[in-house]
Amino acid sequence: MKWQIIVLVLVVSMGVIFAATDLGSGGFLSSFLGAFGLITIFIVVALVMYASKVRKRNDD
């Protein structure tokens, strides 16, 4: 479970930094990429949560 938390923190922090720099530059492409980055973060979070659920089920 530890590696999942580490990956999650890395992805979220990268996404936050990316979104912050995007908002600073503020073009159409950058705002599109920022939205895409946020969607990617949500997908990764969902996958990690799903993977941990499946893992718990297998451990029982």
Cβ atoms of 44 and 11 closer than 8 Å: yes
Look at residue 60 in the predicted model and tell me its pLDDT: 58
Q: Quick one: three-class SS letters along the chain?
A: CHHHHHHHHHHHHHHHHHHHHHHHHCCHHHHHHHHHHHHHHHHHHHHHHHHHHHHHHHHC
Does the predicted model carry a pTM greater than 0.85? Answer: no
Look at residue 4 in the predicted model and tell me its pLDDT: 80
Question: Measured between alpha carbons, how far is 35 from 54 in angstroms, rounded to an integer?
Answer: 29
Q: Mean pLDDT per segment of 10 residues, for the chain of length 60 residues?
A: 80 73 60 73 83 74
